[in-house]
Chain A
């Protein structure tokens, strides 16, 4: 096997990046800060991997040109292997990929951010973005739901968010009476229902487990939101992130290039199971 280095740009080949910071968020998730200096939109994702283990898509949850932050939940091989890393280790990343949230077109609006569980990760990108462009948007409302107080992500940031924005955290079940960050017991949907909010100059961003998204959309529509005011993040199996391998295709749309963020009216007919 005569192998030689080639100079042609190869879309499959990731590059090594250093981990600047490794922070454990919850028992099964962690945040990694890598020294990848790129331009990207909130909601875009990268393919993160380790040699010999594989790659997986992870949303960028920060907004900076100096580094990227990734919040990762341990669910399988790649994510578990990543969880064993520490500051100073090297990971392989390629990207960014996908279409993020159309923040520029939403200038002048209020932003309603609704996240469930690990779905909060991509949404943090919007929060950071809005913070960096504070003048461009009116009110920021955050509605974040978790299963229990132990699952609450970004606890380091929550205090700041609480001071700056309208923040509501819910937990499905309050397991040990530790009511931090003013969290309420109940589902996000309930909190949404009781929220005094209208669709007036407001865009809603939803990310979370499929069931949660379904009910949140219903509530939003009850509150008068139009389909084109709602933005969703979708998740599918993907290998290439280049719009070729076809695993992430939802009725002809590729999650990796046409998504992962879709406006609800673009994909409401696309659910194919």
Chain B
């Protein structure tokens, strides 16, 4: 093959505002992490490295969202310096919980605002792709650690794994779970992009939609189903927006639209789960 086998992919792993969980998800591939390092030329990973060589990268994997001016500067600089920018995790891809601030009342956090130095000035919490072009997304809060591996293993060979597009339900049913919607619980699996192996439902919890909406979601129907199960509109909005509110700009319109009111669905299970 023509590819130069000695020329390893120059990779940098960085984080801006976030919980470091995504970067940990890389390290927590305990059995493969040391092997992984032999595949790539890890130029920078400040989370675990002192020496971080700031230069041209082939691939930057970036955790976290833009929350202050410093973040924005770093994001722009990394974008300039890298052939490829990968948004790692929900904060990076959708804004995650911190971006939920857009949907909360200003008075809830107003008293927390205070004077900060220039570079610490707040920026509206926002995912990477609101500011720069993103080449690949590894969504999820936290991202699936195997998915990160798959991405790295693929990209060193020039193969980008197909991004997941199927709903969480696909993996959930394959794992042999009972459907939580049948128990009256507000699971967002049907409108959420899978790839997490439905971990939340495997663990007994509902999907809160952290990996973002599927391109093919039937939002009208999802809203209708949640209403059938006794959840009010406030609940539905809050739940859907917790992780990916910024990626559901149509939510309000759809909720007010007429369609979900006329769909005839059937639900014969328990009503109301919470309260």
So, do A and B actually touch in the complex, CB under 8 Å? Answer: yes
Residues of A within 8 A of B (CB): 52-53, 77, 80-81, 84-86, 89
**Does A85 contact B1, Cβ atoms closer than 8 Å?**
yes
**Does B159 contact A81, Cβ atoms closer than 8 Å?**
yes
**Does B1 contact A89, Cβ atoms closer than 8 Å?**
yes
- The reply to whether the CB of B158 lies closer than 8 angstroms to some CB of chain A is yes
Residues of B within 8 A of A (CB): 1-3, 157-160, 162
Roughly how many angstroms separate A86 CA and B1 CA in the complex, as a whole number? 6
Roughly how many angstroms separate A53 CA and B2 CA in the complex, as a whole number? 16
* Chain A nearest CB, measured from B164 CB (Å): 15
Roughly how many angstroms separate A86 CA and B2 CA in the complex, as a whole number? 7
Which residue among B2, B158, B159, B162 has the maximum number of chain A CB atoms within 10 Å of its CB?
B159
List 5 additional A-B contacts (Cβ < 8 Å) besides A86-B1, A89-B1.
A52-B157, A53-B159, A77-B160, A84-B158, A85-B2
B162 cross-chain contacts in A, Cβ below 8 A: 77
> Chain A: which residue is nearest B159 at the CB level?
A77
A86 cross-chain contacts in B, Cβ below 8 A: 1-2
A84 cross-chain contacts in B, Cβ below 8 A: 1-3, 158
A89 cross-chain contacts in B, Cβ below 8 A: 1
* Chain B nearest CB, measured from A28 CB (Å): 15
**Does A81 contact B2, Cβ atoms closer than 8 Å?**
no
B160 cross-chain contacts in A, Cβ below 8 A: 77
* Chain A nearest CB, measured from B101 CB (Å): 39
Which 10 A-B residue pairings sit nearest by Cβ, starting from the closest?
A77-B159, A84-B1, A53-B159, A84-B2, A84-B3, A86-B2, A85-B1, A89-B1, A80-B158, A81-B158
> Chain A: which residue is nearest B153 at the CB level?
A52
Roughly how many angstroms separate A86 CA and B160 CA in the complex, as a whole number? 22
Roughly how many angstroms separate A230 CA and B1 CA in the complex, as a whole number? 41
B157 cross-chain contacts in A, Cβ below 8 A: 52-53, 81
A53 cross-chain contacts in B, Cβ below 8 A: 157, 159
Roughly how many angstroms separate A53 CA and B155 CA in the complex, as a whole number? 11
A85 cross-chain contacts in B, Cβ below 8 A: 1-2
Roughly how many angstroms separate A53 CA and B160 CA in the complex, as a whole number? 10
